[in-house]
Chains A and B, each alone.
Chain A
Amino acid sequence: MKTVSLLLLFCLSLWAISAQEIVEKVEHNLQSENGYSKITMSVTTSRGERTMKMESWNRGNEKSFIRILYPKSDMGITFLKIDTTMWQYVPKIEKTIKIPASMMMQNWMGSDFTNDDMAKESSIVDDYIPTLSSEDSTKYTLTLIPKQDAPVVWGKIVMEVQKENYVPLRAIYYDEDAKEQRTLYYSEIKVIGSRYLPTVMTLIPSQKEKNKTVVTMDEVDFESRIDDAMFTKNALIRFSR
């Protein structure tokens, strides 16, 4: 009996490690040490559709920089995130504004994404405890529960990951009351260097079926080195032009 129990515990620990490994591989695909991308974001609501184009630079989860290219009225707006702090420069008012931490869950530029999503403040590896809920021949289903002191707002994330390449298929986000809030679908997988990258992400909020935000990565570069000067407050104004 004792041997069976130990064997069971050993198997369970193997499962836990597996789940951790899966999220690490997922994060490896989605995140890079140095990344540049050109993005098109289409926001659809019951009242119409709006398109934005932007460039994004990131260094791991800690630093990121975004510049809006289109529409013309928003061109030059820049965002900088360092660790948990986010700034925004608005050329029209010639001002750099620090976004309060309490605003990180506000919608970003009228889309269904939040400031936190855009700043990539949270990490599924560092901030969540994964468990493998189920698996079939093609995909794993993981349940991610936030760690005790993790700076995240989601109560739970259920993520389906392709077995073949560790690319997520979809992630369902729940709030602290276990109420489903939104689903993020990943598609159009491309191989970029050693990564499998879903280049289209579609976010559908659960309470608003007519809404969706589609993010398409038009250009991706994980190889080029990004200048440290990009991740400074001065860059907000300098790269705004």
Chain B
Amino acid sequence: MIILKMALRELTTHKKRSIITFLLSAFSTALLIFVAAISEGTHTQLIQSSVETYPGYIQVRDAKFEDDPSFENLIFNESEVKDKVTKTTGIKAVSSRFETFALYSSDKLTVGGMFCAIEPESEAKVSRLKNALVEGEYLSSSDTNALYIGNELAKRLDLKIGDSVSFISTAADYSFAADNLIVKGIFRTKLYEFDNSSAFVNKAYFDVLMHSSDIATHIIATPEDISKIDTVSETLKQNLSNTLEVRNYKQILEDFIVAMEIDGIFSYITLGIFFIVIFFVIAIFAFLSVYGRVRQIGVLRAIGTTPSQVMGMLLFEALLLGLLSVSVGGVASGYATHYYEKNPIELTSIGDMEMEDYYKQYNMVAETTLPTQFDLASIFTQMFIMLLLNLLTVLYPIAMINRFTPIEAIRYV
């Protein structure tokens, strides 16, 4: 108890020294938590956007489709497979798609692009296609020749809402398919290549025209709990025929996710270097503060204070200051993290380059915000690390100061 009292007295007596140590530590804690939260938040946002924009969390398709995406490798019992997927424990939403290629021809131009049939209502639960609407209306299950087209593709074909555009394609039975479509809605997902090459129609209409009844290229599923996606995917694999392939977003976007992880590692390395510098600043400051008290500690030792009591007193000082600064830094950055998670920082350009152009060159969803990720466990972990660093900084000066005999310490200049 006496040690605690001595430590408290010491802190209050040397206010200037205490405030500087407190500020250094609190600022470092706040910065560590906030930068880590931005890094995590941005990565999570990019992965979520890439998954939810169109690919979906879980894809079911024919096992040979990846190597040979032809009409021989489709899901030919779509309703049966879809039913099994729907009944799988842990699945929240399911929707079927038929993706193929078509030539779109307006009055001005003919261009090739992805022609995809979706089930409008259920598609809205597995992707952000509906939310990407910028003009007109989203598709409905009663639509016939209504087209939901990417804004960049619409721009290339010079199409507006209500305009007519023809398509020619090959039907699922390899016969010739063509029709005139009316633009019902225009979407913008911020994924430039996707917006520049994709258009969607209602699957019920598509199935009649393309002879694709009960056929799909993909069945997309969303799990109830994303964190359990590996378990859900494994259960699905066991429930379905081995001629089908089940892939979750970690496999679908494997390269992208690895790139994000590598980027995350580099962020932490950068932060690590930054904190080594901060650690040494605090350590030097702690060393100078402790060494500035050699004579005082010599007097304490001379009146009977043991080296372990000296160590306890100095550790208590560091602990008290550390707890206070880490708590203040943690609370401040926790609040900021929470605030910027709800109100992400807007970043529309880097230098002269627009963010959209920056993302376009990497074919990534052009997100112009930097959200933080509010994660209490992560915040407490980082606070604990900072507290530990604070204690570590005083260990060396304590060890050094305890080497002095009381007489040496009192005579120390």
Contact = CB atoms under 8 A, between A and B. Distances in A.
Interface of A: 43, 45-48, 50, 68, 71, 73-74, 77, 88, 90, 92-93, 95, 97-100, 102-103, 106-107, 109-111, 207-208, 210-211
Contact of A74 (B68, B72, B175): B175
The secondary-structure label for the interface of chain B is: strand
Contacts, number: 66
Nearest to A102: B112
B402 interface: no
A109 B179 contact: no
B160 to A, nearest CB: 19
Interface stretch (B90-98, B165-173, B354-362): B165-173
B35 interface: no
Given A92-B179, A100-B111, A207-B68, 19 more contacts: A45-B71, A45-B72, A46-B72, A50-B175, A73-B175, A90-B176, A93-B179, A93-B180, A95-B105, A95-B166, A95-B180, A97-B166, A97-B168, A99-B110, A107-B170, A109-B174, A110-B175, A208-B68, A210-B72
Interface string B141-180: 0000000000000000000000000101011011110111
B70 interface: yes
A91 to B, nearest CB: 9
B179 A98 contact: no
A208 B72 contact: yes
B176 A74 contact: yes
B244 interface: no
B271 interface: no
A77 B166 contact: no
7 contacts: A73-B176, A93-B166, A98-B110, A99-B110, A100-B111, A109-B176, A110-B175
A48 B175 CA distance: 12
A95 B103 CA distance: 12
A55 to B, nearest CB: 16
B178 A90 contact: yes
B330 to A, nearest CB: 57
Contacts of A110: 170-171, 174-176
Interface string B62-84: 00000010111000000000000
Could you say which of A46, A97, A100, A106 has the most chain B C-beta atoms within 10 Å of its C-beta?
Answer: A97
B166 to A, nearest CB: 5
Interface in B178-199: 178-180
Contacts of A43: 174
B95 to A, nearest CB: 25
B174 A97 contact: no
A47 B211 CA distance: 13
Nearest to A91: B178
A88 B168 contact: yes
A77 B176 contact: yes
A105 B82 CA distance: 34
A92 B177 CA distance: 9
Could you say which of A50, A77, A92, A102 has the most chain B C-beta atoms within 10 Å of its C-beta?
Answer: A92
A208 B70 contact: yes
B175 A90 contact: no
Contacts of A95: 105, 166, 180
Contact of B110 (A74, A77, A97): A97
Contacts of B72: 45-47, 208, 210-211
Contacts of B112: 100, 102-103
Contacts of B166: 90, 93, 95, 97
A102 B113 CA distance: 12
Contacts of B176: 68, 73-74, 77, 90, 109-110
Could you say which of A93, A99, A111 has the most chain B C-beta atoms within 10 Å of its C-beta?
Answer: A93
A109 B111 contact: no
Q: When A and B form their complex, which 10 residue pairs have the shortest distance between CB atoms, in order from nearest? A: A110-B174, A97-B105, A93-B166, A90-B178, A110-B170, A74-B176, A95-B166, A46-B72, A93-B178, A93-B180
Contacts of A211: 72
A111 B173 CA distance: 11
Could you say which of B68, B101, B166 has the most chain A C-beta atoms within 10 Å of its C-beta?
Answer: B166
Interface in B24-78: 68, 70-72
